[in-house]
Structure 1
Amino acid sequence: MTHPGDPANQPQQPTGTPLPGQWQGAPGQWQGAPPPQQPRGGAGGLLLLTLQGSPLTASMLTPKVFIDGFPVGAAYGLNTIPVPPGRHTVRAEATWIVKYGQASYDFDAQPGQQVEVFYASPMIQFMKGRMGPVKQKRPGVWLLVVILVIVVVIVVVS
Structure 2
Amino acid sequence: MTLQLDDIDLKILALLQQHGRLANQELASLVGLSASPCSRRVKALEEAGFIAGYATLLDPKHFDLQLTAYIQVRLEKHSQAILDAFELAMSSYDEVLECCLLTGSDADYQLKVLVCDMEAFKRFLLEKLTTQQDIAGIRSSFVLKQVKNQTAIPLPKS
TM-score with structure 2 setting the length? 0.30
In terms of fraction of residues, the more helix-rich structure is 2
Kindly indicate whether structure 1 or structure 2 has the higher relative contact order, using CA contacts under 8 Å at least 6 residues apart. Answer: 2
Give the number of the structure whose residues are more often strand, by fraction: 1
Which TM-score applies when normalising by structure 1? 0.30
Return the index of the structure with the highest Cα Rg.
1
